[in-house]
Amino acid sequence: VTLRTAFTELVGVRHPIALAPMGGTAGGALAAAVSNGGGLGLVGGGREEVDWLERELRIVTENTSKPWGIGFLSWGADGHVVERALEYGPAAVMFSFGDPEPFARVVRASSPTAKLIVQVTDLEEARRAVDVGADIVVAQGSEAGGHGGSRATLPFVPAVVDLVAPIPVLAAGGVADGRGLAAALALGASGALVGTRFQASHEALVDAEVVKAILNGHGEDTERGRVLDIARRSPWPERYTARTLRNAFVERWRDRPDELAADTATLDDYQRAASRGDMDVVAVWAGEAIDLITEAQSASDMVGTMAALAEESIRHILEP
Amino acid sequence: VTLRTAFTELVGVRHPIALAPMGGTAGGALAAAVSNGGGLGLVGGGREEVDWLERELRIVTENTSKPWGIGFLSWGADGHVVERALEYGPAAVMFSFGDPEPFARVVRASSPTAKLIVQVTDLEEARRAVDVGADIVVAQGSEAGGHGGSRATLPFVPAVVDLVAPIPVLAAGGVADGRGLAAALALGASGALVGTRFQASHEALVDAEVVKAILNGHGEDTERGRVLDIARRSPWPERYTARTLRNAFVERWRDRPDELAADTATLDDYQRAASRGDMDVVAVWAGEAIDLITEAQSASDMVGTMAALAEESIRHILEP
């Protein structure tokens, strides 16, 4: 038995699980592994160079015959790169954080088949997703790792479901196991988009130290803020803060973002420390659900396990 | 068919729903209505005077023959008042926000039957709840209306379930309809504790203006902070901020709590404006799930409707 939803039907996957297109982390190998496991793998277009993206898109096409996709940042994507990516034949293209309208037009003009996924962090963005003709809406809560907004997943998802119906919704933020997936479905979502859990997989492009920090960390060790974006001289829009593991650098600068931005010497030091992987400064993107992540696995196995446990969790409610 | 859980069995109620013991709002009439509807009504002991509490306890005992209970604030309760309340025969007594240990001893010493419910906002508090022998643990997320902590319900609940097993857990924060209850159960909780939704009931002790604000408000109109506690000269511990509807007073003072605390003239003005019900200043405790609350109902009806919709939501996952 499998959990069939509007999402699994629309994109033709077995399980209602999508990989969050984590920039730099969700490469072709991870996306292919998630797709081979029965979910929808999404390569993280993020802020990477087009050469990186094309290499990862070749890897995903060579490693799976199942549907897969790509995710871009609406505030930072380049229409030509999106067009180029579409030539690799993704089943879905996702846009997050910013106005998706220009890219929605690119996708519609360039591909007759690619589904348009739009991620939203508040109700206004959800309305905009409907306006631009999204095929799938991702409602992302603030417990998500990495960048996001300020709504919490549990009350936000049903509000988005009601607002965008009948467009299928994926829940994102705080889902790291079968129970979280079951909860997403109970809230009326057609599946879940999962990030941090897949960071702790064999196929993710992450350092071993980062995986170790995620496996050992707790939700209370994470926080949202702008300090690490400022430190990285990253041009993320202010409204999208990032959830990371707390570290010495965050503790030091949390309350002084403007001072940090103006302190060139500290920013240069940061860059040097980050590039040698100093865990006191690097941004370990991590969602609040890391309490539930205790071992690294193959991403393909994670998909099947999560789906099976979600179904078990749901059946258990009716037959305790 | 009903949703049976460890919670419904333990306290002898029909539906896995408890009323959040909202101070001043959850009086005897509301608690009795929730209990009569098949949930567990909890009178809000809060910061009220003992005369208020005894009056409301008489009301609840006169209006229901079903199990009901009382909730107290661990940081502000008086052991003698707890003893007095126990004489009214509650099926459960709940303690929130602070160390429950002294009160756990009072409950055990004074009542052979009352179940001990401990509400927690982080994993350390959850460990403490186990240590003091809680019969039921409430895992409260920051999307809750009123006072609380900083964890989000969806990832926090399963982490608490794992930590305190086999003690049954209720999810609190962000649950305002059947889908939220279904999600709580999917996360492994044995039910949900619901506040804001019951504030918009006929039986709640709230002004009509407050109910109207809740029905019209959206999750994005709420925020957590200390400003209104400072304004009310309320001695709440700093770590427990309160989620309220945003208003002009909050906007004005959000970033200057220390300045506000020292500004006696403003505090006096606040008190006058609040006592005449000025909606630009009063604290309207409201959770993020208010998007889902669109009409005021009888609390008894709410319980049955929420349980029925939760079951429908769960069955729909297995048979779309």
Which of A151, A154, A224 to mutate: most B Cβ within 10 Å? A154
Gap between the Cα atoms of A239 and B103, Å rounded? 43
Inter-chain touch B180–A155, beta carbons under 8 Å: yes
Token pair listed for B152: 């989000």
Gap between the Cα atoms of A50 and A83, Å rounded? 11
Token pair listed for B98: 């602070």
Gap between the Cα atoms of A28 and B287, Å rounded? 40
Gap between the Cα atoms of A202 and A296, Å rounded? 7
Sequential DSSP letters for B58-80: HHHHHH-SS-EEEEEETTT--HH
In terms of pTM, does the model score above 0.90? yes
Which of B120, B184, B136 is closest to B40 using CA atoms?
B136
Interface of B with A in 13-42 (CB under 8 A): none
Helices B123-131 and B153-164, interaxial angle, to 10°?
A: 30
Inter-chain touch A159–B219, beta carbons under 8 Å: yes
CA end-to-end span of chain B: 19
Gap between the Cα atoms of B48 and B42, Å rounded? 14
**What is the ipTM, given to two decimal places?**
0.97
Which of A146, A218, A182, A172 is closest to B160 using CA atoms?
A218
Residue A96, beta-bridge partner list: A73
Show the CA angle centred on residue B306, arms to residues B55 and B114, nearest 5°.
40
Gap between the Cα atoms of A155 and B153, Å rounded? 9
Task: For chain B, state the CA radius of gyration.
Answer: 18
B320 close to A (CB below 8 A): yes
> According to the model, what pLDDT value does residue B106 have?
97
Q: What is the strand order of the sheet B146-148 is part of?
A: B146-148, B241-245, B222-225
Which of A124, A179, A292 to mutate: most B Cβ within 10 Å? A179
Inter-chain touch A155–B289, beta carbons under 8 Å: yes
A185 to chain B: which residues are within 8 Å by CB?
186, 317
> According to the model, what pLDDT value does residue B1 have?
60
A174 to chain B: which residues are within 8 Å by CB?
152, 154-155
A159 close to B (CB below 8 A): yes
Which of A203, A219, A226, A227 is closest to A288 using CA atoms?
A219
Q: How far is CA B62 from CA B52, B214, B301, in A?
A: 16, 29, 20
SS3 helix, strand, coil % of chain A, rounded to 5?
Answer: 45, 15, 40
Which of A63, A104, A62 is closest to A86 using CA atoms?
A104
Which of B116, B115, B104, B121 is closest to B160 using CA atoms?
B121
Q: How far is CA A166 from CA A161, A264, B188, in A?
A: 8, 50, 28
Gap between the Cα atoms of B138 and A174, Å rounded? 19
Of B184, B311, B320, the CB nearest to A4: B320
Are B114 and B93 in contact by the 8 Å Cβ rule? The answer is yes
Inter-chain touch B185–A186, beta carbons under 8 Å: yes
Gap between the Cα atoms of A247 and B18, Å rounded? 38
Kindly give the parts of chain B with pLDDT less than 50: none
Inter-chain touch A154–B175, beta carbons under 8 Å: yes
- pLDDT tens digit sequence for B73-120: 999 999 999 999 999 999 999 999 999 999 999 999 999 999 999 999
Distance of CA A226 to the CA centre of its chain: 18
B141 close to A (CB below 8 A): yes
Strands of B74-175, DSSP E: 92-96, 115-120, 136-140, 146-148, 169-172
Q: State whether residue B148 is helix, strand or coil.
A: strand
B123 to chain A: which residues are within 8 Å by CB?
218-220, 291
Which of B153, B184, B204, B175 is closest to B44 using CA atoms?
B204
Task: For chain A, state the CA radius of gyration.
Answer: 18
> According to the model, what pLDDT value does residue A1 have?
61
Interface of B with A in 268-307 (CB under 8 A): 287-289, 291-292
Gap between the Cα atoms of A36 and A53, Å rounded? 20
Rama region for A20: left / alpha / beta (φ>0; ψ in -120 to 50; rest): beta
Q: For the purposes of burial, counting CB atoms within 10 Å of the CB of B195, is it exposed (0-12), middle (13-18) or buried (19 or more)?
A: buried
Are A140 and A173 in contact by the 8 Å Cβ rule? The answer is yes
Of all residues in chain B, the one with the smallest CA distance to A188 is B179
A172 to chain B: which residues are within 8 Å by CB?
none
DSSP state of B142: T
Q: Average per-residue pLDDT in chain B?
A: 97
Which of A77, A89, A28 is closest to A50 using CA atoms?
A77
DSSP tally for chain A: helices H, then strands E: 15, 11
Whether residue B237 has a cis bond before it, omega within 30° of 0: no
Kindly give the parts of chain A with pLDDT less than 70: 1
Which of B125, B140, B317, B319 to mutate: most A Cβ within 10 Å? B317
Inter-chain touch B152–A155, beta carbons under 8 Å: no
B187 close to A (CB below 8 A): yes
Which of A226, A165, A199 is closest to A285 using CA atoms?
A199
Q: Identify the residue whose tokens are 């982390």.
A: A25
Q: What is the strand order of the sheet A136-140 is part of?
A: A17-19, A192-194, A169-172, A136-140, A115-120, A92-96, A68-73, A41-44
Amino acid, single-letter form, for residue B302: M
Calculate how close chain B gets to A8, using CA atoms only, in Å: 12
Q: State whether residue B220 is helix, strand or coil.
A: helix
Gap between the Cα atoms of B75 and B119, Å rounded? 13
Gap between the Cα atoms of A282 and A265, Å rounded? 17
Gap between the Cα atoms of B17 and B21, Å rounded? 12
> According to the model, what pLDDT value does residue A47 have?
76
> According to the model, what pLDDT value does residue A227 have?
97
Of all residues in chain A, the one with the smallest CA distance to B221 is A151
Inter-chain touch A219–B143, beta carbons under 8 Å: no
Gap between the Cα atoms of A127 and A167, Å rounded? 11
> According to the model, what pLDDT value does residue B2 have?
78
